Amino acid sequence: MHRTLTRASHCILQIEKPAAAGSTMFTEVLVALAVGAVIYFLVQKSKRHQLKSKDGWWGEGTPSDEEEDAGIYPYTVQTNDEQLEDLYRRLDQTRPVPSLEDSQFNYGFNSHYLQKVVSYWRHDFDWRRQVEKLNKYPHYKTNIEGLDVHYVHVRPTNLPEGIRPVPLLMVHGWPGSFYEFYGMIPLLTQPSGPDDIVFEVVCPSIPGYGFSEAPHKKGFDSVCAARVFHKLMKRLGFQQFYAHGGDWGWLVTTNMAQLEPQIIKGLHLNFAPPSKPGLPTFLSIMLGRRFPKLFGFNEHDIQRIYPVFQNQVVEMVKETGYMHIQATKPDTVGRGLNDSPVGLAAYILEKFSTWTDHDFRNLDDGGLTRKFSMDDLLTNVMIYWTSGCIIPSMRFYKENFSKGLDQPHSKMPVQVPTGFACFPNELMHTPKLWVKQKYHQLKTFTPMARGGHFAAMEEPELMAQDIQNFIKTQEKRKK
């Protein structure tokens, strides 16, 4: 009997072993399937958050069968007597128009003050000296997708052993230029603090702006510019880099983060209008005044947002007439501005007045020299005048808006680490909650002490410091 039980027990053990092994295998298969499902979900999710874009050709005619010239060529900003003589002749022949009494800048650029600007431009402004200032930093051109793309590339000098600079791309907007960043460049490439990051800075001109060739074909929008700048940075040898933008630079760098999020280490912005407001944004508008803490609103948020109709609607209508023109018929107005330096200056500098502080509309001089020097303002105008880029710069609005407001990138969140500098006099105020609806990895949000739309040019120290603070947090996380 005992032997029989022993044999039976032995048989049962022999049977149970394969069963246990089978159970283990089954569990492993389930785990593998679960892990696979998670990986598949994450990959698909990342694909949904990655923008797609095909290569283009924006040069004249059809693309050549020859391999694209990937050479990088030094470029020098130049001027000549003929250009200056033509400018002076046009300035001398301007036809002044009296402004309405007590109108200040509420009807646009005050004509009486414009004559003072023209007089300074004609008799005191030294363009040759400003050209020397422009050439203080190295300029280059390289051909990408059929266009000669201009950029400023500043490498830090006298770096301590073992210190590697951090690459930073900075993209301008309209009616600005690469020159907006000239006050920031030394602060970033030659920082004063021992713990500060040292940057290697690249400031390109958007094709159609400044000294970058204008597209010869329809359709060159912010996504195309983003793709071109990715190619530029790869050509310069950067595998990863940070990016900063304001105005159109906000959208171009945002598209860059959507196109290749693994390459953009971090995104720093000072302008981020809600591209596709969601339910949290609408709820915050409806209830934020009564329950500000619920939506993270501070006193400045309340002052800028409410009353909604006056601050968000009326103010935007007052300041966006130019946008409707440029988004529909840019060539008509552009042709007049391309022929008249005085008209060009009035059109551009009016934005540097009102977008810096909307209360400047009530000043006879538009408050222009309260924040900027007249030499800097006219240097930016001269970049537009000497390059003849006002029309293609305006076309950028039509190329972006003619495709509708419901573009793939407008519905797509940004998943790269983001820092936002919230300047109090920005044309459109964006509270932290609204920024987070688009930029899901918002790491820093800084209410700035002062400054408006052209913050990089107006407050270079504040902007450079906020870029430093944001990127320091990212570099520490990486370590």
How many domains, in total, are found in the chain? 1
Domain-embedded: residue 30? no
Task: Please check the confidence at residue 3 and state whether its pLDDT lies above 70.
Answer: no
Split at pLDDT 50, 70, 90, the class of 280 is confident
Confidence (pTM): 0.88
C-alpha distances in angstroms, 205 versus 146, 161, 332, 430, 457?
15, 32, 24, 26, 16
251: closest CA among 232, 276, 273, 230? 273
Report H helices in 124-194: 127-134, 185-189
User: Three-class SS string for 20-48?
Assistant: HHHHHHHHHHHHHHHHHHHHHHHHHHHHH
Token look-up 């912010």 returns 222
Helix (H, G, I), strand (E, B), or coil: what is residue 403?
A: coil
Task: Please check the confidence at residue 26 and state whether its pLDDT lies above 60.
Answer: no
Domain-embedded: residue 129? yes
Catalytic position from the list 113, 151, 397, 439: 397
Catalytic position from the list 179, 242, 247, 347: 247
Domain-embedded: residue 304? yes
**Kind and range of the H or E run holding 465:** helix 460-478
Task: Please check the confidence at residue 311 and state whether its pLDDT lies above 80.
Answer: no
Task: Please check the confidence at residue 13 and state whether its pLDDT lies above 60.
Answer: no
Beta-carbon count within 10 A of 393 CB: 27
State the chain's mean pLDDT as an integer.
90
pLDDT tens by residue, 292-301:
999 999 999 9
State the pLDDT at residue 251. Answer: 98
235, two tokens: 């050509």
Report, as an integer, the average pLDDT of 420-430.
95
Split at pLDDT 50, 70, 90, the class of 194 is confident
Report, as an integer, the average pLDDT of 326-330.
97
Alpha-carbon span 208 to 189, nearest angstrom: 27
Task: Please check the confidence at residue 87 and state whether its pLDDT lies above 50.
Answer: yes
C-alpha distances in angstroms, 414 versus 106, 173, 417, 440?
38, 20, 8, 6
User: Between 17 and 210, where is the model more confident?
Assistant: 210
pLDDT tens by residue, 206-245:
999 999 999 999 999 999 999 999 999 999 999 999 999 9
Domain-embedded: residue 447? yes
CB 366 within 8 A of CB 350: yes
Which stretch of 62-66, 101-105, 361-365 has the lowest confidence by average pLDDT?
62-66
Alpha-carbon span 272 to 420, nearest angstrom: 8
Backbone phi, psi, residue 419, to 5°: -120, 140
Q: pLDDT over 70 for what percent of the chain?
A: 89
Task: Please check the confidence at residue 40 and state whether its pLDDT lies above 80.
Answer: no
State the pLDDT at residue 28. Answer: 52
State the pLDDT at residue 162. Answer: 81
CB 233 within 8 A of CB 169: yes
pLDDT tens by residue, 89-126:
999 999 999 999 999 999 999 999 999 999 999 999 99
219: closest CA among 51, 327, 58, 331? 58
Domain-embedded: residue 322? yes
Alpha-carbon span 296 to 299, nearest angstrom: 10
Domain that holds residue 116: 83-478
Domain-embedded: residue 65? no
Task: Please check the confidence at residue 32 and state whether its pLDDT lies above 80.
Answer: no
Handedness of CA 420, 423, 426, 428 (dihedral sign): positive
Task: Please check the confidence at residue 174 and state whether its pLDDT lies above 60.
Answer: yes
CA 221, chain centre distance (Å) = 13
**CATH code assigned at 372:** 3.40.50.1820
User: Between 280 and 21, where is the model more confident?
Assistant: 280
C-alpha distances in angstroms, 429 versus 308, 316, 435?
12, 11, 10
306 is catalytic: no
397 is catalytic: yes
429 is catalytic: no
Helix (H, G, I), strand (E, B), or coil: what is residue 130?
A: helix
Split at pLDDT 50, 70, 90, the class of 337 is very high
State the pLDDT at residue 22. Answer: 55
The DSSP secondary-structure symbol of 314 reads I
Alpha-carbon span 263 to 425, nearest angstrom: 32
Is the backbone peptide bond immediately before 175 cis, with ω within 30 degrees of 0?
A: yes
Domain-embedded: residue 420? yes
Domain-embedded: residue 9? no
CB 417 within 8 A of CB 474: yes
Alpha-carbon span 359 to 366, nearest angstrom: 9
